[in-house]
Amino acid sequence: MIPHRSNRSRRALVPAAALGAALAFGAPAALADTAPVSPSGTGAPASAAAPQAAAAASPSATWVAGTRAYLVITTPGDTTAVRNAVTANGGTVFQYYDAIGVITAHSASASFAATMRGVSGVQQVGATRTSDVPADAYNPALPANPAQSTTPSGEPVRADMTQIKADQAWAVTTGSASVKVGILDTGVDDQHQDLAPNFNAADSASCAYGKPDTRTGAWRDIGTHGTHVAGTVAAARNGKGVIGVAPGVKISSVRIAEPGSSLFFAENTVCGFMWAGDHGFKVTNNSYYTDPWQFNCPDDADQAAIIEGVRRAQEYAEGKGSLQVAAAGNSNIDLANKTTDTESPNDSTPVTRTITNACLDIPTELPGVVTVSAMGTTAKASYSNYGLNVIDITAPGGDGTGIYSTLPGGRYGSKSGTSMAAPHVAGVAALLASTNPAITPAQLRDKLATQANDIACPSDSRCKGTTARNGFFGEGQVDALKAVGSTPPPGTYFENTADFAIGDYTTVESPITVSGVTGNAPATLKVGVNIVHTYIGDLKVDLIAPDGTVYTVHNRSGGSTDNLGRVYTVNASAEVANGTWKLLVNDNARGDTGRIDSWNLTF
């Protein structure tokens, strides 16, 4: 069983690779990214905890030099009195969350934190930066919307997908469109040909600076990292480019990296987790650490407040049904035996300091977060962090060749790192949630553990533990096929991934031509249906055999539930298998529309 406590360290941001190229180490940002691959080319917020906490407490302020950001921690509930104290003591309230008792405040007063720590009802106060809040925080510029290149048809299955048996799991499910995965990162290029089919703009935002920005495009990528991660989770199965682990689920972008620095400060992370909880994300991917401290130590007042604020936000998201998956980091260090931090603070001048295991890499080492190390093909990736009872599970991260995925502008490229391993696990978690719609975060953690394939320690004294659980691989390598049912359905598999629009009071059909199957269809013909449509109670869905026989699989049940994604079993033993089968969908009411996203037959 994966324990509720999980550790992950974050890594450096890697520049995006040109089409087909790989990445090398990049600038010192908080991304859990990249080990060296062949050098070439160019190389995630949140919202209101509860309705009353969603809005910022004050209008945009006028920026002045010396403005710093603080987390002010108080009792969850009505934070009015503490917010008033912020204003009375030389600060402004930038954002607040009554549900968790966390306020993001700005102040240019050097005594602000010390003064607020003496205010009644204030539990902790901590500066989240050692540098000024950028002026852009008060009037953020929208990220660029890159021109899109096109890619010739062709969608080979990647080696990393075969390694975790995702390609076999797709015969069971490609994931449900009702499952939302949040990409908390540098942003996502929602226009990319391989991401647009699965992108959920309605639940996307920017949390840069610690306040939700829902303007169209605010969620777009300020680098390349988030787009690459998104492709590994859920690039569409559309005959182009690449296929993600869960190509049928929906992805939302919550940009928590700030432009210019590409750093992920605590208020941004808090915002991201609150947004995830309030917007129904079943899984979030977190391939970063919370800047500017690689490790936050509880004996430092500022860092203690960061730990508490982010912890409360993660707990809130989990309480709303969201599982957080995070990357372990690429410094090749033992997270179970911390001694030194040489990278912090990374927003000013790093210093070398002695640390202990009480100092946490967050959000990775927070309770409930699943920590992911990286593998090459068979061994721990050379760069991956490790640690007994810290690493929960492992997945391919690329070690030499890199993980090939989407890049902004319709491009593709390779990156290596635990940043690339984590989205494999997030994708498998999304497949699990697709086949178990009522599953809880705790149950998801347990299932990820039980389905993992054990990997024994190599002849390496750094690897502690047993074959069943050790410091290099945790519970083992994630296995998508075992996660969704252990074996693929027997028989030949056919699929139509083309979209067919479903309008009001219309009937549409999607064909599949079956050939090469001997005799009749089985008595247990598997019919996988993925329909994106609000209010599925409007729909009647029939399977039409080649001779015209009608088999009804869904008849206006489900009421106001959105989206139909499940596998039906049909006794079609009276039908000749070969020929053209059709999925017929009839909309019987006004006001809700959608599309046949994909469907499949397994004989």
Q: Write out 74-96 in H/E/C secondary structure.
A: ECCCCCHHHHHHHHHCCEEEEEE
* Cα 531 to Cα 263, 475, 481, 555, distances in angstroms: 38, 35, 23, 14
CA distance 293 to 312: 18
CA distance 255 to 271: 10
CA distance 317 to 218: 22
CA distance 585 to 75: 52
Q: Are strands 323-327 and 283-286 parallel, antiparallel or unpaired?
A: parallel
- Helix H or strand E segment including 71: strand 68-74
pLDDT of 26: 29
pLDDT of 63: 84
Give Dmax (Cα) for the chain. Answer: 82
CA nearest neighbour of 316 among 268, 272, 379, 362: 272
User: Six-digit token pair at 75?
Assistant: 């009792």
Q: Look up residue 126 and give its DSSP letter.
A: E
pLDDT of 560: 83
User: Six-digit token pair at 144?
Assistant: 């660029």
User: Six-digit token pair at 132?
Assistant: 């000024």
pLDDT of 2: 41
CA 124 distance to own-chain centroid = 30
CA distance 40 to 185: 23
Residues of the chain with pLDDT under 50: 1-28, 34-60
For residue 430, what are the contacts with CB-CB under 8 A and spacing of at least 6?
175, 179, 181, 233, 234, 245, 246, 249, 282, 283
Q: What pTM was estimated for this model as a whole?
A: 0.78
pLDDT of 171: 87
Q: Are strands 393-396 and 122-127 parallel, antiparallel or unpaired?
A: unpaired
CB neighbourhood size of 68 (10 A): 20
Kindly report the three-state secondary structure assignment for every residue of 50-69: CHHHCCCCCCCCCCCCCCEE
Burial class (CB in 10 A: 0-12, 13-18, 19+), 340: exposed
pLDDT of 328: 95
User: Six-digit token pair at 310?
Assistant: 């982010």
User: Six-digit token pair at 355?
Assistant: 């640390």
Q: Which residue has the tokens 């402004």?
A: 92
pLDDT of 517: 87
pLDDT of 29: 52
Burial class (CB in 10 A: 0-12, 13-18, 19+), 18: middle
CA distance 412 to 406: 4
CA distance 95 to 71: 10
At 120-157, the pLDDT tens digits run 999 999 999 999 999 999 999 999 999 999 887 888 88
Alpha-carbon torsion (306, 311, 312, 318), positive or negative = positive
Measured CA angle at 497 (ends 496, 501), to 5 deg: 105
Query: Any idea which residues carry the catalytic annotation?
Result: 185, 225, 419
